[in-house]
Amino acid sequence: MFQPQLNLAEATTAVTSLVKEYNVIAHLSRQLIGQLVTTSGAIMACDPLGKLQDGAFEEVFPKGNFPVTLCVAELPNHLRVSAYAMVEFLPEQPTTWELAHLRSLHSATGYKHAFWVDSGTACFMDLETLALLKDYLLVSSAADAHRLQLIQQVFGDQNQVGGAGIGRAVLAFAQASGLTCVVFPTGWGDDLYSSYLGRTVSGAICRLLTEFNVLDIEPKD
């Protein structure tokens, strides 16, 4: 069946949208899930329970404390699945969107604009958070208490979004910078996911959006 393509700008404002897997109209709702603290201007999107490869985006982003929103699509059968996660750097609405390219992760995945998820979760974090997260998770082994704590935060029922008990978490590190890692569920689960930059009419970056192959969005190189 033919499915019209959804404009990415509409996906951030419309209350309904086509969903690929089910070919239905779903209700979209957005919720604030945490604050991203960035100190270097280099931002990563990756699987926080994966190999933690260095895959920051090529663009330099504003520094500061910015809200992260999760968009959830509710299907007619009441299944709720995350459609995208978005960082808001400026209050202005984007007038243009473009693919966000990764600096180095494409060498491992074969894609310059997508990162691989195999835990059903992804995250936004400052590049300087990478070493802190590695220390936090990989102190000893997969059975390390810190790693188990994060897994409980992410997969525990208290923050459930949709199926499989997948939730979300915000890791705050005890440094003076206050760096955070904002974790969220990834649509249907494990896959390659692309991100987009939203720019204002003046060209300033106002949004970073990672979408999870749920909405009928047409990617553009």
Q: Which amino acid, residue 143?
A: A
Whether the per-residue pLDDT at 106 is higher than 50: the answer is: no
Q: Which among 175, 92, 71, 199 is positioned nearest to 126, based on CA atoms?
A: 175
The answer for residues whose C-beta is within 8 angstroms of residue 92's C-beta and 6 or more apart is: 200, 201, 204, 206
> Rounded to an integer, what distance in angstroms lies between the CA atom of residue 58 and that of residue 197?
11
181 versus 49: which is more confidently predicted? Answer: 181
What is the mean predicted confidence (pLDDT) over 28-56? Answer: 87
Residue 24: per-residue pLDDT: 82
Place of tokens 């990478």: 130
pTM of the model: 0.84
Of 116-120, 208-212, 214-218, where does the model show the most confidence?
208-212
Query: Which range among 9-13, 23-27, 30-34 shows the weakest confidence by mean pLDDT?
Result: 9-13
Q: Calculate the average pLDDT of the chain.
A: 79
Q: CB neighbours of 28 closer than 8 A, spacing ≥ 6?
A: 11, 14, 15, 16, 17, 71, 72, 73, 74, 83
